[in-house]
Amino acid sequence: MPALPSPEPIDGHPSPLLKNENAVDENDQHFMEMAIQIAKRGLGKVEPNPMVGCVLVRDGIVIGQGFHQKFGGPHAEVEALRSLESTQQAKDATAYVSLEPCCHHGKTPPCAKALVDAGVARVVVGMADPFPKVAGGGLKYLHAAGVVTTVGVMQAEAEELNAPYLKLVRDGRPWVIAKWAMTLDGRIATASGQSQWITGQQARQEVHRLRARVDGIAVGMGTVVADDPMLTARGKEEHQVPSRVAERFVFCRHRLPSLDSKIVRSACDVPVTLLVGSDVDSAQLDQLQRAGVKSISLVNSKSNEMVIETLQRLGQQRMTNLMLEGGAELLASFFAADRIDECHVYLGPKLFGGQAAKGPIGGVGIDQITDAVPFRLVSLEPLGNDLRAVYRRDLCED
């Protein structure tokens, strides 16, 4: 049995055991699609790990499957092997895995070794894992053990599945999801500032589901003062438990929230961190800290620079997804910093009108249409009389 390799890219001439073919094998594509679909069940439960699915096939028949279910738990390959009556059933089977099997001892043993030990004859991989402790090492291990390996089947879909994970690994920052509700004429509030409610109950419940699977939720002080939000995930049923409890972040460039605000009064139950600039009142900040609120002092004072610094800090904490629930000015800061990766737009069947009524993104904006960052439509879903559109930037965009 070969020793586990150091994680380094595969080099040299292509081996007959390692394939990355342009020709699409329909069977490979079919079973990889299954692996990607079951991987999605881990959404909100496995981060900062990637979502991974594995399907075991022999003679064209699925004999086992599994997915990474929770952070720190068994990986997809192990779950798939455990789904068999006996691991002997895996001998000479093909494993379809949406992400390269790991080759290092982390919270769990290496999955590449588990597949080899089970006698799997072929492994089809959606995409190589750029995580430094893997980075081709799993593929090298399989190759050295004589396992036929095909890489890159449905690679675009595999990368789409784990775009936030890839952003964290490659760029060291969380994936930023901007969410807003707006009217048919593009307003997020009336001219007097009223915004509750633009959308109906079904759409608002979907927002709670989104809150329940992200690592953090960020707002600005304008939203805290205007809406006094809780920013917690609340299910329609009392027994529903969120996948994770998102930490709440408030950008405090000049001012701080009141001790009486909901977000502060609930700080002992749900974490709250203030992202503070140098101009805030230090005595008031001390009071808030005694009330259970945490704070991060930022070096930069310009709004877009505060955004960039914050994302670097959160990336160091291995946060994968950050949701923006702030108003037009917070979104303008992230827009100016070029740090919005995904947009969840809820369109309500109302018209507000008025030049004074705000749109979703404030600030100075851009001058030329050619300067606009392109997004692509990922999904469009009716929610009662409302619509939810999800857009993402191309993965190559930064």
Dihedral over alpha carbons 287, 288, 293, 296 (to 10 degrees): -90
CA-nearest of 172, 216, 213, 165 to 395 is 165
* Whole-number Cα distances in Å, 161 to 123, 156, 292, 338: 19, 9, 36, 22
Catalytic residue among 8, 26, 47, 77: 77
Helices (H), the chain: 26-39, 76-82, 111-117, 137-144, 155-161, 163-171, 201-211, 221-227, 262-265, 282-290, 303-316, 328-336
The DSSP bridge partners found for residue 198 are none
Rounded Cα distance between 70 and 74, Å, is 8
Rounded Cα distance between 211 and 338, Å, is 22
Rounded Cα distance between 214 and 353, Å, is 33
Q: Is there a contact between 309 and 334 (Cβ–Cβ < 8 Å)?
A: no
Give catalytic status of residue 47 as yes or no. no
- Look up residue 246 and give its DSSP letter: P
* 116, two tokens: 């080899």
Q: Is there a contact between 370 and 389 (Cβ–Cβ < 8 Å)?
A: no
First-to-last C-alpha distance (Å) of the chain? 42
* Whole-number Cα distances in Å, 144 to 103, 129, 139: 12, 18, 9
Rounded Cα distance between 262 and 290, Å, is 16
* 307, two tokens: 């955004």
* 293, two tokens: 């609120």
Residue with tokens 């989104």: 210
Rounded Cα distance between 87 and 163, Å, is 32
Q: Is there a contact between 190 and 357 (Cβ–Cβ < 8 Å)?
A: yes
Catalytic sites, residue numbers:
77
